[in-house]
Amino acid sequence: MRIEQVSLRLLKMKLKQPFVTALETVNERKIILVEVKAEGETGYGECLAFETPWYTEETIESAYTILSSLLIPRLLRSTIEHPRDVHQLFQSIKGNQMAKASIEMAVWDLYAKLQKLPLWRVMGGSKKRVPCGAVIAASNTAEALDQAEQFLNEGYSRIKVKISPQNGLDVIKQIKARFPLLDILADANSSFTLDDIPILKEFDTLGLLMIEQPLDACDIVQHRHIQAIMNTPICLDESISSLLDVKSAWELNSCNVINIKISRLGGVTEAINVHDYCVKNGLEVWCGGMIEFGVSRAFNLALSTLDGFTIPGDIVSSSRYWEEDIVLPEIVVENGWAEVTEQPGIGYEINLNRVQEITIRENVYTLD
Ligand SMILES: [Mg+2]
């Protein structure tokens, strides 16, 4: 297969409510919608780099540059048999995982459509419905309790709370006291150091499902010391940008859980590789969110149909974040579950009117 045309559209949408983490508050979200065309079909992917490098080193502008100057020309000049070939094609370019993932995703969607198969089946998934979890994005305890109650009423069985050495302990204690059956996952976004072990030990008494990424985004070795003294499973997120990182974490006993994000891992191919390795070696996995638009949400849903995804992922209804999403129909979570369909590709149409409305830059690339 030869890709005939690639388009990039920089889109911007305002969140319904600010998304607060230990490192950054996100009020509006820019992403790049990537479109690839071949043999009369169109595939879509999303680049989820943030505007500043607070999550990983990439930014939405650095990704736009890498896509247009390196990745797209390389793809347009190549013949590929399977989306896995795109992963191989970009191997010699270091880093830039979110830029690479966006275009690789688009080729996966295109390939599935050309095969007239749903993406989740092409990925090797087997479950037709997946359990979903939600993230508390509140600026105070009262708001967090309200959100937890709302999520519980909507059927979500697992929530995620953002924590730091200064925040989260009291919020989680209060949520636990009020909703004892709710599974709680705490995400530190690398805001702790080894000096904060006494505070982590307090979090360890709360019966959390896991604590995600307590230490530095580049660290795998020090997490080993944390896991060794904690009963709560440690999950790695920012530290994991490849299968090789997962292998290091497993060899060092640095964690018991891996948060699989297609974007952070450079694409669907590596996400599946990580899933397969973790299942084989007894590490638990779940699918993390990135404040994404509908295309990525559809990919997360498809990926979560693979057997190893037993812990509810960060998959919420489109309407939780956005006034109007870019897919039709919008993605809906009912009673804590989302379902996949037999529609070819990602299973959702692109809402082109909505895309048009929120486009702030657009470029089209062909081989000529
Ligand atoms: Mg995280």
The question of whether 162 is a catalytic residue gets the answer yes
pLDDT score for 25: 83
Residue 137: per-residue pLDDT: 77
Within this chain, do residues 154 and 265 fall inside the same structural domain, yes or no?
Answer: yes
Residues 100, 162, 173, 247: which is the catalytic one? Answer: 162
Residue 362 vs residues 7, 64, 70, 77, 358: alpha-carbon distances, Å: 7, 11, 17, 21, 11
Residues 185 and 279 in one domain: yes
Do 127 and 112 lie in one domain? The reply is no
Question: Distance, CA 54 to ligand 1 centroid (Å)?
Answer: 12
Shared domain for 40 and 169, answered yes or no, is no
Distance of CA 155 to the CA centre of its chain: 21
Q: What confidence tens digit (pLDDT) does each residue in 70-90 have? A: 999 999 999 999 999 999 999
- Of 271, 242, 213, which is closest to residue 45 (Cα–Cα)? 271
- Write the CB contacts of 94 (distance below 8 Å, at least 6 apart in sequence): none
| pLDDT at residue 66, rounded to an integer | 98
At 31 the three-state DSSP class reads: strand
356 backbone φψ class: left, alpha, beta (φ>0; ψ -120 to 50): alpha
Q: What is the CATH number of the domain that holds 101?
A: 3.30.390.10
The CA 212 to ligand 1 mean position distance, Å, reads 6
Same domain for 223 and 243, yes or no, is yes
* pLDDT tens readout for residues 298-337: 999 999 999 999 999 998 888 888 999 999 999 999 999 9
- Mean model confidence pLDDT for the chain: 95
Cα 191 to averaged position of ligand 1 atoms, centre (Å): 11
Lowest-pLDDT range of 176-180, 229-233, 345-349, 360-364: 176-180
Please indicate, yes or no, if residue 179 is contained in any of the structural domains. Answer: yes
**Based on the domain organization, do 95 and 242 belong to the same domain?**
no
CA distance 16 to 28: 9
How high is the pLDDT of residue 18?
82
Q: What is the DSSP letter of 71?
A: I
* 22: confidence class by pLDDT, cuts 50, 70, 90: low
Q: Is residue 237 part of a domain?
A: yes
Looking at 304-342, list the stretches that DSSP marks H as alpha helix, in order from N- to C-terminal side: 318-321
User: 100, 113, 160, 261: which one is catalytic?
Assistant: 261
Q: Is 261 a catalytic residue?
A: yes
**Structural domain contains residue 10:** yes
198: in domain: yes
Whether the pLDDT of residue 212 is over 80: the answer is: yes
Strands 158-162 and 327-328: unpaired
Partner residues linked to 161 by β-bridges: 136, 186
What percent of the chain shows pLDDT beyond 70? 100
Cβ < 5 A residues, ion ligand 1:
187, 212, 237
Residues 235 and 162 occupy one common structural domain: yes
Domain that holds residue 15: 5-116+349-361
Asked if pLDDT for residue 17 goes beyond 90, the answer is no
**3-state secondary structure (DSSP) of residue 227:** helix
CA of 306 to the centre of ligand 1 (A): 21
Q: What is the pTM of this model?
A: 0.95
Tell me the CATH number at 178. 3.20.20.120
Distance 240 CA to ligand 1 centre (A): 11
Alpha-carbon distance of 286 to 303, in angstroms, equals 10
pLDDT > 90? residue 55: no
101 in any annotated domain? yes
Q: If you measure from the C-alpha of residue 77 to the centroid of ligand 1, how many angstroms do you get, rounded to a whole number?
A: 36
How far is Cα 144 from Cα 28, in angstroms, rounded to an integer? Answer: 20
Residues 186, 40 share a domain: no
Structure tokens at 54: 């607070």
Mean pLDDT of 47-66: 95
Band (140; pLDDT cuts 50, 70, 90)? confident
Does any domain span residue 344? no
285: CB partners within 8 A, 6+ apart = 257, 258, 259, 260, 274, 275, 278, 279, 308, 309, 311
Q: Domain check: are 86 and 137 in the same one?
A: no
Find the range with the poorest average confidence among 46-50, 142-146, 304-308: 142-146
Domain count, the chain: 2
Taking the C-alpha atoms of residue 198 and residue 128, their distance in angstroms, rounded to an integer, is 43
Tell me the residue type at 206: L
Residues 109 and 86: beta-carbon distance below 8 Å: no
- pLDDT of residue 24 exceeding 90, the answer is no
In a domain, 355, yes or no: yes
Between β-strands 337-339 and 41-47, what pairing exists: parallel, antiparallel or unpaired? unpaired
Do 22 and 170 fall into the same domain? no
Tens of pLDDT, residue by residue over 179-210, are 998 999 999 999 999 999 999 999 999 999 99
H/E element, 63? helix 60-66
**268 — pLDDT class (breaks 50, 70, 90):** very high
State whether 172 and 248 are in the same domain: yes
Tell me if 36 sits within 8 A of 6, measured CB to CB: yes
pLDDT, mean of residues 269-293: 97
Helix, strand, coil shares, percent, the chain, to 5: 35, 25, 40
Same-domain check for residues 209 and 293: yes
Phi, psi of 364, deg, nearest 5: -120, 135
Report yes or no on 368 lying in a domain: no
Residue 297 forms beta bridges with which residues? none
